[in-house]
């Protein structure tokens, strides 16, 4: 892969992938790769993840191949802002301002897609719900906002292996990415986001404790949601 002088001074080309700092200076490369149907690796507020255009089945399938992930395991999506969620999932049953109190942050909310969702039907076939993230990370949110779509997002590791909190943790997979963005060590640890199912009115169900379960439950109960039995 050819690179110009400026990029060569700021990046490291290793094993077929280009490593760049996760700064706004380099979002242009990321956005271009996403729009071309490629996979990138980048930091979130919880872990390093693989991301691609959620509406490109070629790119989504590539993520499954890189991870060795079963196609029966659904992918979450990442959007730039809480207000974007209504384009992809049903939210009108939720208390006003609930999502704004949970997000941005280390939480994945699971919601029904609904008939108005602009997501491709072929994303996560057999599932009528979708996990949605708005990470507390400007870098990935700028990329999602500029992509004009949603990003399919999953942890940057082989399926069944520990999650990655630095790019060195998945160095063996760099070669499969158009770009690897280095944001340093992510301090939150390998627990990942807290996953909560909010698809049923008035009810919440914690699907994965993650790194913010106590804070998440406190918000949900403040809005008078009840824990699923």
For the segment 126-154, what is each residue's pLDDT rounded down to a tens digit?
Answer: 999 999 999 999 999 999 999 988 999 99
Could you tell me if residue 139 is inside a domain? Answer: yes
Query: Beta strand 129-133 with 179-182: parallel, antiparallel or unpaired?
Result: unpaired
CA–CA distance, 199 with 156 (Å, rounded to integer): 27
pLDDT at 11 over 60: no
DSSP string, 54-67: TT-HHHHHHHHHHH
Could you tell me if residue 108 is inside a domain? Answer: yes
Residue 148's pLDDT is: 86
Residue 52: which domain range? 14-227
Could you tell me if residue 177 is inside a domain? Answer: yes
- Helices (H) and strands (E) counted in the chain, each on its own, are 6, 12
Could you tell me if residue 53 is inside a domain? Answer: yes
What are the tens digits of pLDDT across the range 13-69? 544 569 999 999 999 999 999 999 999 999 999 999 999 999 999 999 999 999 999
33's enclosing H/E stretch is helix 27-35
180's enclosing H/E stretch is strand 179-182
CATH code at position 101 = 3.90.870.10
CA–CA distance, 98 with 79 (Å, rounded to integer): 17
Mean pLDDT for the chain overall: 92
CA distances from 49 to 62, 88, 108, 126, 146 (A): 14, 20, 14, 24, 18
pLDDT at 8 over 80: no
Could you tell me if residue 7 is inside a domain? Answer: no
Q: Which of 164, 181, 169, 176 is nearest to 66 (CA)?
A: 176
Q: Which of 15, 57, 47 is nearest to 191 (CA)?
A: 47
Residue 1's pLDDT is: 37
- Give the residue-averaged pLDDT of 163-183: 97
pLDDT at 3 over 90: no
What are the tens digits of pLDDT across the range 75-129? 999 999 999 999 999 999 999 999 999 999 999 999 999 888 988 888 998 999 9
Residue 107's pLDDT is: 98
CA–CA distance, 79 with 153 (Å, rounded to integer): 10
pTM above 0.85, yes or no: yes
Q: How many domains are contained in the chain?
A: 1
């Amino acid at each position: 892969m050819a690179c110009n002088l400026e990029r060569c001074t700021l990046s490291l080309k290793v094993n077929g992938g280009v490593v760049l700092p996760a700064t706004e200076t380099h979002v242009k490369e990321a956005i271009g790769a996403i729009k071309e149907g490629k996979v990138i690796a980048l930091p979130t507020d919880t872990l390093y993840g693989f991301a691609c255009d959620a509406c490109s089945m070629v790119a989504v399938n590539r993520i499954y191949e890189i991870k060795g992930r079963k196609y029966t395991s659904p992918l979450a999506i990442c959007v730039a802002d809480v207000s974007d969620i209504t384009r992809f999932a049903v939210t009108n049953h939720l208390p006003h301002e609930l999502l704004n109190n949970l997000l941005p942050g280390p939480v994945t909310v699971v919601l029904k897609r609904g008939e108005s969702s602009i997501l491709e039907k072929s994303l996560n076939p057999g599932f009528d719900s979708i996990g949605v993230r708005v990470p507390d990370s400007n870098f990935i949110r700028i990329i999602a906002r500029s992509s004009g779509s949603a990003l399919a997002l999953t942890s940057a590791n082989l399926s069944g292996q520990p999650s990655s909190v630095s790019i060195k943790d998945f160095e063996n997979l760099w070669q499969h990415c158009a770009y690897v963005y280095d944001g340093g060590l992510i301090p939150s640890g390998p627990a990942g986001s807290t996953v909560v199912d909010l698809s049923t009115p008035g009810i919440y169900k914690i699907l994965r404790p993650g790194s913010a379960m106590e804070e998440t439950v406190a918000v949900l109960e403040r809005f008078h949601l009840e824990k699923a039995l």
